[in-house]
Structure 1
Amino acid sequence: MATSIESSASPAPVSRPAIEKKSVSFQNILLGAAIQTFEVSTLGQPFEVVKTHMAANRGDSIATSLKKTYARGGIAGFYQGLIPWAWIEASTKGGVLLFTSSEVDYRARVAGFSHGWAGLFGGVVGGVAQAYTTMGFCTFMKTVEVTRHKSPDTNASTWRIAYDVFQREGIRGLNRGVSAVALRQMTNWGSRFGIARVTESVFRGKDSSRKLTTAERLASSAVGGALACWNQPLEVIRVEMQSQAKAADRPANLNLFSTARYIYQKSGFLGFYRGVTPRIGLSVYLTVCMVFGGDSIKAYFNDKQKQRA
């Protein structure tokens, strides 16, 4: 009797698309720094100044903040702290963010994480790297520039105030508020990249390999930037810690918790969200520049390298 042998065909393995690492060369890092410098030199710094003014002067509306900023120096008043502090910060943190986030994003995807989670991890690590390598001193100096008219010596220059702080507190004083900056940047870029990537996945639908249109990529970046402003309390705490305002009831040695308590006592819960509207504008513009612009630049150089290969 012939024995019939049934061969059960095993299902073909599901082929996953190859994970491609976007090229991040030294030239590309410089371009990342250039993107952020362009961003802060155009609409970025005016949003930053108004946002900082409202966070430091929590009783002022947007209209009042605009009037007071203009009264301090006309159109140039909206660019206080741009040169050199915002330029120094932008030219360094843009490169740090682009390099770090790209590397972590790639490693996370190789480890099996989804596009959204990989983007979130890349943004978190990139944001922390920004804060502790380039941003502490620069954010302090920018805030001094915007709030020094509230210091006891209104004629003191930014350099003089920085020198006095250094004399009293050393390097630690010049980096006051860096812990709040690190938390803000970690949640900022984790949210911006993560939400932007999730929004991209929503646009793609079931076809995860579909190339997004320019409008879809722009919309994803804008959504990521706007929704990332949920962490505005950290920004208000950071500004208060770095502000030059003096008040009898203001704690002398501010930390995250004492600053939060002081803000709540003075301005209530809504005080933590002063300046959120200009910050949404800043965040959308910044995220479009760095996520949409950064992805476009990395893809451009990746294509160039393939063509040369």
Structure 2
Amino acid sequence: MSKAIEASSTVPQAAAPDAASARPEIKKKPISWSNILLGAAIQTFEVSTLGQPFEVVKTHMAANRGDSIATTLKKTYARGGISGFYQGLIPWAWIEASTKGGVLLFTSSEIDYRARVAGFSSSWAGLFGGVGGGIAQAYTTMGFCTFMKTVEVTRHKSADANLSTWRIAYDVFQREGIRGLNRGVSAVALRQMTNWGSRFGISRVTESVFRGQDKTRKLSTMERLASSAIGGALACWNQPLEVIRVEMQSQTKAADRPEKLNLLSTARYIYQKNGFLGFYRGVTPRVGLSVYLTVCMVFGGDSIKAYFNQKQAAKSNPNA
């Protein structure tokens, strides 16, 4: 009798390790400083090529909601030729591009790991990571960078049109302090949290669709590119927040425009002036911007990493 009891008591002890080993181990993704530097370099390249023209067109249309894409292109070119499409590039877009990727990667990776440890699926963990990373971006570097970029695009009709960017930034800081340079940051934070939350979440769902029944299959470059592009394009559903952000930061003056704008008063003003469709002005160039950024980060990043990996392998095995 005692032997039977002793034998039965050993069964749970033997089964426990098997149950523990059956549970997949959740590993935290290490932060690679080389990847952060690579991301900063690629994003700086992206914004210095087609990224800033997309940004300028998108911002102009959001601030001047009666202008079509054709009209926007003509007005932008009339302001300064080809250089008109690069207003706000130096230094503000460069500062933003070289910093926001690292902030996003660090914050989203940490939140993603904590969410998966807490038992959330990869899709939910990606969404939470994107939301947290987007908020961190807004309140560290993107707030004042987007403000100054918008000033550059919209100030041609204001009294500050002949002042340098640095002078405008100094004057704003003298009048309103850090708060003035971060005008509209609440809209930026909402845009970034919904943008990256949607992008990460939708991209993960799309990846799952591509994998089908084999959840461990490694995706091809084209599949990863398509997943990111779909996530980026569909994440533009939050364009109303972008239009509100631009209006809050715009230097364009109007007699009926409230002096002190917040999220609600800005939304009310846009609706009164342009109706519901006014909230989606500039969405087409924004989708183009998102797809171009995805191409640069996925194709560009993978190609450069593969090149350096091959160089490193060749150095390690010179006789191979």
SS of the residue aligned with 1:197? Answer: helix
Query: Which residue does the alignment assign to 1:186?
Result: 193
TM-score, with structure 1 as normaliser = 0.88
Trace 1:78-227 onto structure 2 (pairs within 5 A). 78-227=85-234
Q: Is the CA contact (8 Å cut-off) linking 2:99 and 2:141 kept in structure 1?
A: yes
Q: Report the secondary structure of 2:54's partner residue.
A: helix
Which of 285, 292, 296 is the aligned partner of 1:285?
Answer: 292
Q: Deviations over 1:140-198 (max 9, x none)?
A: 11001111102134323323322332232222111100000000010111111111111
How far apart in 2 are the matches of 1:153 and 1:85?
A: 17
Going from structure 1 to structure 2, the CA distance change for 1:221 and 1:292 (only over 3 Å counts) comes to: farther
1:127 touches 1:188 (CA, 8 Å); kept in 2?
A: yes
Amino acid at match of 1:259: T
Q: Deviations over 1:204-250 (max 9, x none)?
A: 11111000011100000000000000000000000001110111111
Of residues 241, 248, 260 in structure 1, which corresponds to 2:255? 248
Instruction: Give the 3 Å change call, closer, same or farther, for CA 109–300 of structure 1 in structure 2.
Output: farther
Q: 1 CA distance for matches of 2:93 and 2:56?
A: 11
Question: Which residue is 2:68 aligned to?
Answer: 61
In structure 2, runs of 5+ residues without a counterpart are: 1-7
Between the two proteins, the alignment pairs up a number of residues equal to 299
Cα offsets for 1:106-127 (capped at 9, x unmatched): 2222222211111111111110
Give the distance between the partners of 1:43 and 1:153, measured in 2 at CA.
27
How many Å apart are 1:292 and its aligned residue? 7.0
**Greater mean alpha carbon deviation, residues 107-116 or residues 204-213:** 107-116
- Structure 2 length-normalised TM: 0.85
CA distance in 1, matches of 2:196, 2:298: 10
For the 8 Å contact 1:39–1:286, the answer to whether it is kept is yes
User: Alpha-carbon deviation of 1:274?
Assistant: 0.2
Q: How far 1:283 sits from its partner (Å)?
A: 1.6
The match for 1:231 among 238, 241, 251 is 238
Distance in 2 separating the partners of 1:192 and 1:71: 35
Aligned equivalent of 1:51, options 58, 68, 80 = 58
Give the drift of 1:203: 0.5
- Give the Cα–Cα distance (whole angstroms) in 2 for the partners of residues 297 and 161 of structure 1: 38
Task: Name which of structure 1's ranges 157-166 and 122-131 shifts more when overlaid on structure 2.
Answer: 157-166
Q: Which residue number in structure 2 is paired with residue 3 of structure 1?
A: none
Kept after mapping to 2: 8 A contact 1:193/1:291: no
Cα distance change of structure 1 residues 293 and 205 upon mapping to structure 2, 3 Å threshold: farther
> Which shows bigger deviation, 249-258 or 34-43?
34-43
Q: Hey, which of these two has a bigger chunk of helix by percent?
A: 2
1:301 Cα deviation (Å)?
A: 9.9
Aligned residue identity for 2:257: R
CA contact 1:58–1:267 (8 Å) conserved in 2: yes
* Stretch deviating more after TM superposition (39-48 or 158-167): 158-167
Distance 1:22 1:296 in 2: 21
Counterpart residue identity of residue 188, structure 2: V
Q: Distance in 1 between matches of 2:105 and 2:300?
A: 11
- Identity across aligned pairs (percent)? 88
Give the gaps of 5 or more residues in structure 1.
1-6
- Structure 1 residue 25 displacement after superposition: 2.5
Contact 2:53 2:86 (C-alpha < 8 Å) held by counterparts: yes
Contact 2:225 2:294 in 1 (8 A): no
What is the rounded CA distance, in whole Å, between the counterparts of 2:25 and 2:85 in structure 1? 47
User: CA, structure 1 residues 92+82, in 2 after alignment: closer, same or farther (shift >3 Å)?
Assistant: same
Aligned AA (1:40): V
Aligned residues of 2:100 and 2:142 also touching (Cα < 8 A): yes
- Out of 33, 44, 47, the residue aligned to residue 26 of structure 1 is 33
User: 1:279, 1:100 → 2: CA distance?
Assistant: 24
SS of residue matched to 2:22: coil
Say whether residues 1:275 and 2:263 are aligned partners. Answer: no
| Equivalent residue, structure 2, for 1:73 | 80
**Cα displacement string for residues 70-112 of structure 1 (whole angstroms, at most 9, x for unaligned residues):** 1112221111111111000110111111111122222222222
> Which has more radius of gyration?
2
2:62, 2:246 within 8 Å by CA — same for their partners in 1?
A: yes
Q: 1:112 is matched by which residue type in structure 2? A: G
Q: CA offset at residue 297 of structure 1?
A: 8.2
